[in-house]
Copies of this chain bind each other. A is one copy, B any other.
Amino acid sequence: MAERITPRSEDFNRWYTDVVIQGKLADYSPVKGCMVIRPNGYAIWEKMQQTLDRMFKETGHVNAYFPLFIPESFMKKEAEHVKGFAPECAVVTIGGGQPLEEALYVRPTSETIIWSMYKKWIMSYRDLPILINQWANVVRWEMRTRLFLRTTEFLWQEGHTAHASFEEAEEETRKILEVYRKFAEEYMAMPVITGRKTESEKFAGALHTYSIEAMMQDGKALQSGTSHHLGQNFAKAFDVTFQDKDGSVKHVYATSWGVSTRLVGALILTHGDDSGVIIPPKLAQVQLVIIPIWQESTRQKVSDFTEQIYQKILPHFAVQLDSRDQYKPGYKFTEWEMIGVPLRIEIGPRDVDNRQVTIVRRDNRQKISVGADSLVPQLKQILDQIQQDLFQKALDFQKANTYSINEYEEFKKILEEKSGFIEAHWCGSAGCENKVKEETKATIRNIPFDRLKEMGKCIICGKDSEGRVIFAKAY
């Protein structure tokens, strides 16, 4: 608490780390690349989990749990998959004091172990679809890590579904991307671009991958969720077939999809300010904090009124009363601001006299006096307004930092001088995509679903293009 948060204008990366560490959202652990998620940070993840879990269940999914360990031979069954994941795995070679006959990979993702089970469970079209989600930890060995954004171990959910047809799997892949978009925009108040990843950026083992991409306050992109159509790749690797209605035997179609604790980082990078994180009301485990302000002479009267107000609010909101005696109000303000509680209610002697409270919005510091009698509906309205305003502010920022560019020279200049998303034409070749990446470090974030059909020329090779894609430097 004593330390200062580096302002964003001074050093954006240090600002981020300061917000995480000083807000006690997470901490470095003694295990290389692994983080500790502290209670303030875990509370955000818990609200994300609850919300997403409800959304998954509403769309017909159920939860299950598969083993942490994957036998080495399983990892190797899908050629693209092993190429993509095996090099970044943690490998168990000793168990119960004995060397293992076959090494066990700590799951970097669970397609292989899950499809080995689906082989047991799927016989007929009657067994389909399977709509399973798993909440779990996964491990991917990372050289350069950043709290929440890139860690060796992280928490996530991974959906793994099995379908009788390509079309059904495609529908599922898109349905889940829509769940992710809705969650990002309506709960995290974070606008996203939905679209398809390019061939070189798709999941190792997928036919194609869809993503939601968000713009952080430094103009960089953050891939916030992905949904993969796996076609029959894993079904073929694990020989999972079913007898269809017409008696024919076919390989099963698959999807997988996930979001992770990375979203906590995305939330900080989208809404945080120089005082700390700002949590959108819908994801706040504490939506309101009440801080009484008293002198010895006014203590009793402030305390009594505060208790009344607290009891009035308690049934309607997630509220916390901070009546700790050992800290001054100013200290408490700073502390609650740092962890992002959306609204603060101050109650001083004058408020008591006027039967009102003073409300301070975390996002824009606006102070509002509200009478005790109309408090509950007013609070509800203000919280809704904060949720909307956070989204609108982020959307305005995204739009203001998105450039439509037709020339590669201008493209490069923008990436040097500014930061943000660039909408540009691209011919579709991996060669041009790679050239941009090598020369500018910008990658194609995705090919937006809602892009205009607009004929143009690839900014690299000049060949025809049917529409613009989103380029950006990314986390």
Instruction: Please list the residues of chain A having a beta carbon within 8 angstroms of any beta carbon in chain B.
Output: 27, 29-31, 34-39, 42-43, 45-46, 62-71, 74, 87-97, 103-104, 106, 113, 116-117, 120-121, 126, 132, 136-137, 139, 141-143, 153, 155, 326
Contacts and interface: CB of A to CB of B under 8 A. Distances in A.
Contacts of A93: 91-94
12 contacts: A27-B121, A31-B71, A31-B113, A34-B69, A36-B65, A37-B64, A39-B63, A43-B62, A65-B155, A90-B94, A91-B95, A93-B93
When all copies of this chain in the complex are counted, the total is 2
A294 B106 CA distance: 51
Contacts of A95: 89-91, 141
Which applies to chain A's interface (DSSP): helix, strand, loop or mixed? mixed
A62 B38 CA distance: 9
Contact of A139 (B27, B62, B68): B68
B27 A117 contact: yes
Nearest to A32: B95
Nearest to A155: B65
A143 B66 contact: no
Given A31-B113, A62-B39, A67-B29, A96 B88 contact: yes
A70 to B, nearest CB: 7
Q: Name the residue in A94, A116, A137 with the highest tally of chain B Cβ atoms < 10 Å from its Cβ.
A: A94
B64 A39 contact: yes
Contacts of A31: 67, 69-71, 104, 113
A69 B113 contact: no
Contact of A67 (B64, B103, B153): B153
Contacts of A143: 96
Contact of A126 (B27, B97, B326): B326
Contacts of A29: 66-67, 113, 117
Contacts of A65: 36-37, 42, 45, 155
Q: Which 6 A-B pairs give the minimum distances between C-beta atoms?
A: A96-B141, A34-B67, A91-B94, A39-B62, A37-B65, A31-B67
A194 to B, nearest CB: 29
Nearest to A104: B31
Contacts of A136: 137
Contacts of A36: 64-67, 117
A29 B62 CA distance: 19
A192 to B, nearest CB: 25
Nearest to A67: B34
A158 B137 CA distance: 16
B68 A137 contact: yes
A45 B37 CA distance: 23
Contacts of A103: 94
A68 B30 contact: no
A297 to B, nearest CB: 27
Contacts of A126: 326
Contacts of A66: 29, 36
